[in-house]
């Protein structure tokens, strides 16, 4: 089955409650049976269930509607199913009304049809999951922050932004490292526009694919006649950025001979145009970025160690998007707003299922790829809300698995290791036991037995 749940069965007739629980357990659900409303409320406070199945008329001072009211107060995402005897349908229907202060998910009439009960519980479990996801997304959006185009809600991005704030107004050279598309240029721009140099120029050059001669001319300029085609004097980017900031993207691709000339410019604050013997003073702060491992390149002799240490007076490491998936919902909201402005559209949001698939996808192109995807979806959709059908085929059909966080397993027994492995596998399959069993290479019945053995629900 697709959706399993922890179900609390509330029934003052003990045998009836056990029969209901047994029927649900056979469908893979974890169940607890209590025999009074007071026990039910205590259990919900201790561990909120996904679904409560409660008799409408319970013996004692606390009725089924009281259980419903308290459940929704303690755990708003928990779904409640009422069981009613003949003649109580009108009362049960009252708590299904949208205007009801504590609304039930559904009701069933005695005698209970177990197949019908399983179907309703599965729908309720699915609704509980969606409700929790929606609540989690709202919380993420509430905690979201933005700083000069850097958007997120994750602790790792909060630390990046805090570091940018603290070093922005210093004179230190900054080295930004991270995969393609993680936002290295955005960080460079945030550093520049939050420094005292913000009123001066910011110049950008990508060092990848430029040979030594062309790169030297671009950075330091040239004089007329320096080479074929040099028909006039031309300032380089160091002079053009005087007083401001120069961003050297993909500095790891810079030829070795050019690295020595860059180091000299950084150390002395002087540049010499190609074809000239005149030294020109410049005041430029350099921010560099690379997707390469410069420390490894230093060991191999393909990057100068003295330039490496000069560039990394401050190092900022930007994580890949798959390492901060909690930022994806707020990034999606941000990119939808951007795309609406850019293309004159009025997309109001995205469904939880489409967002789940975006969040689970492995973004090799990182934030740049996500932004491009959302841009295309906004342009192509015919609806006000983006849905699964609007996703690109590669994202819509993703089978990516989001791995649980690494855990130090030293000192654990083999049974503890097995328990932990089962827990993590259930986590990455969102509780889908059939998928978990396939990944673990065991049968579904074996998995259910181990769940019971380890007390996992």
- Averaging pLDDT over each range in 212-216, 295-299, 411-415, which range is the top one? 295-299
Query: Left, alpha or beta for 107 (phi > 0: left; psi -120 to 50: alpha)?
Result: beta
- Which pLDDT does position 33 carry in this prediction? 94
In this structure, of 69-73, 238-242, 273-277, 414-418, the range with the lowest mean pLDDT score is: 414-418
For domain 154-319, give the fold: Rossmann fold (3.40.50)
Q: Where exactly are the structural domains of the chain?
A: 6-141, 154-319, 322-396, 414-454
DSSP string, 403-418: PPPP---TT--HHHHH
Count of CA atoms in the C-beta half-sphere (13 A) of 18: 3
- Which pLDDT does position 126 carry in this prediction? 85
Distance CA 358, CA 352 (A): 10
- The hierarchical CATH code for the domain 6-141 is 3.40.50.2300
Does residue 226 or residue 303 have the better pLDDT? 303
Q: Is residue 180 within 8 Å of residue 187, measured between CB atoms?
A: no
Does residue 403 or residue 200 have the better pLDDT? 200
Tokens of 283: 């005041």
How much is the average pLDDT of 126-137? 75
Q: How confident is the model at residue 419 (pLDDT cuts 50, 70, 90)?
A: confident
DSSP string, 350-374: E-HHHHHHHHHS--TTHHHHHHHHH
Q: Is residue 359 within 8 Å of residue 328, measured between CB atoms?
A: yes
Nearest to 386 by CA among 338, 342, 336: 336
Q: How confident is the model at residue 188 (pLDDT cuts 50, 70, 90)?
A: very high
Is-same-fold flag (322-396; 414-454)?
no
Q: Is residue 307 within 8 Å of residue 264, measured between CB atoms?
A: no
**Residue 26: exposure state from Cβ atoms within 10 A (0-12, 13-18, ≥19):** exposed
Whether the predicted pLDDT of 411 surpasses 60: no
Q: Give 449's contacts (C-beta < 8 A, 6+ positions apart).
A: none
* Sheet of 245-249, strands arranged across: 202-206, 245-249, 285-290, 174-177, 314-317
Distance CA 355, CA 18 (A): 39
How much is the average pLDDT of 79-94? 76
- Which pLDDT does position 406 carry in this prediction? 44
Residue range 366-398, pLDDT digits in tens? 999 999 999 999 999 999 999 999 999 888 865
Q: How far is CA 153 from the centre of its chain?
A: 9
Q: How far is CA 309 from the centre of its chain?
A: 33
- Which pLDDT does position 417 carry in this prediction? 73
The number of beta carbons lying within 10 Å of the beta carbon of residue 134 is: 13
Q: Domain 322-396: state its class.
A: mainly alpha
98 secondary structure, DSSP code = T
Distance CA 337, CA 378 (A): 10
Number of H helices, E strands in the chain: 19, 18
Site of tokens 């694919």: 209
For domain 414-454, give the fold: Arc Repressor Mutant, subunit A (1.10.10)
Whether the predicted pLDDT of 120 surpasses 80: yes
Q: How confident is the model at residue 405 (pLDDT cuts 50, 70, 90)?
A: very low
DSSP-based three-state secondary structure for 236: coil
Q: How close are the terminal C-alpha atoms of the chain, in Å?
A: 15
DSSP-based three-state secondary structure for 210: coil
Dihedrals φ, ψ of 311, to 5°? -75, -35
Residue range 294-322, pLDDT digits in tens? 999 999 999 999 999 999 999 999 999 99
Q: How confident is the model at residue 413 (pLDDT cuts 50, 70, 90)?
A: low
Query: Mean pLDDT for the chain?
Result: 86
Tokens of 208: 């990848």
- Averaging pLDDT over each range in 88-92, 158-162, 174-178, 278-282, which range is the top one? 174-178
Q: Is residue 313 within 8 Å of residue 198, measured between CB atoms?
A: no
* pTM of the entire predicted model: 0.61
Q: Is residue 14 within 8 Å of residue 59, measured between CB atoms?
A: no
Give CA torsion, residues 155, 160, 166, 172, to 10 deg: 160
């Amino acid at each position: 089955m697709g959706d399993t749940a922890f179900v609390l069965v509330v029934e003052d007739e003990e045998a009836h409650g056990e029969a209901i629980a047994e029927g649900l357990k056979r469908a893979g659900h974890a169940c607890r049976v209590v025999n009074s409303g007071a026990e039910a409320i205590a259990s919900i406070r201790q561990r909120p269930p996904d679904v409560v199945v409660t008799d409408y008329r319970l013996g004692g001072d606390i009725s089924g509607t009281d259980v419903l009211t308290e459940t929704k107060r303690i755990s708003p995402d928990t779904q409640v199913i009422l069981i009613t005897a003949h003649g109580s349908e009108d009362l049960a229907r009252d708590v299904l009304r949208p205007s009801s202060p504590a609304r039930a998910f559904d009701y069933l009439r005695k005698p209970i049809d177990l197949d019908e009960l399983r179907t309703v519980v599965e729908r309720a479990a699915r609704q509980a999951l969606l409700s929790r996801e929606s609540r989690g997304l709202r919380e993420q959006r509430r905690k979201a922050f933005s700083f000069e185009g850097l958007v997120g809600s994750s602790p790792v991005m909060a630390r990046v932004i805090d570091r940018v704030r603290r070093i922005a107004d210093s004179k230190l050279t900054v080295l930004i490292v991270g995969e393609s598309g993680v936002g290295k240029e955005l960080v460079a721009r945030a550093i520049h526009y939050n420094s005292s140099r913000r009123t001066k120029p910011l110049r950008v050059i990508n060092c990848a694919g430029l040979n030594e001669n062309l790169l030297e001319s671009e950075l330091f300029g040239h004089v007329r006649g320096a080479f074929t085609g040099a028909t006039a004097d031309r300032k380089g980017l160091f002079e053009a950025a005087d007083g401001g900031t120069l961003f050297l993207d993909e500095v790891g691709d810079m030829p070795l001979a050019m690295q020595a000339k860059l180091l000299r410019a950084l150390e002395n604050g002087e540049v010499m145009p190609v074809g000239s013997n005149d030294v020109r003073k410049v005041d430029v702060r350099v921010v560099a970025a690379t997707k390469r491992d410069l420390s490894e390149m230093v060991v191999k002799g393909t990057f100068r160690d003295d330039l490496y240490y000069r560039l990394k007076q401050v190092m900022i490491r930007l994580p890949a998007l798959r390492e901060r998936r909690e930022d994806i919902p707020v990034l999606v909201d941000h990119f939808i707003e951007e795309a609406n402005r850019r293309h004159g559209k009025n997309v109001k949001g995205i469904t939880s299922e489409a967002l789940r698939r975006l969040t689970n996808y492995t973004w090799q192109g990182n934030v740049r790829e996500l932004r491009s995807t959302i841009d295309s979806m906004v342009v192509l959709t015919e609806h006000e809300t983006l849905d699964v059908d609007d996703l690109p085929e590669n994202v819509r059909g993703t089978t990516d698995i989001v791995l649980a966080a690494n855990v130090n397993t030293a000192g654990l027994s083999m049974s503890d290791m097995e328990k932990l492995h089962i827990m993590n596998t259930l986590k990455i399959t969102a509780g889908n036991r059939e998928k978990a069993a396939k990944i673990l290479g065991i049968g579904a019945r074996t998995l259910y037995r181990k769940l019971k053995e380890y007390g996992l629900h």
